[in-house]
Amino acid sequence: MATNKRVFTLRLEESNFDKIKFIADKNKRSIAMQIEYLIEQHIEEFEKTHGVIRTDNR
């Protein structure tokens, strides 16, 4: 399955990984999708305060 998502390595403290896994399980998401969701939520909140972040991809 092709995707346009960029792949990278993320290192987490074991306790943070375990907590994200717990939340992901509760939300019926994979760990990767839960992390992506959390990042999207943070970006949305940041942009509400600071304005839209422009990237070369837009």
Question: Mean of the pLDDT values across residues 9-36?
Answer: 98
Reported pTM: 0.83
Classify 43 as helix, strand or coil. Answer: helix
Tell me: pLDDT of 57 over 80.
Answer: no
Tell me: pLDDT of 58 over 60.
Answer: no
Q: For the chain, what is the mean pLDDT? A: 94
Which pLDDT band holds residue 52 (cuts at 50, 70, 90)?
A: very high
What was the pLDDT predicted at 44? Answer: 98
Give me the phi and psi of 6, to 5 degrees please: -80, 135
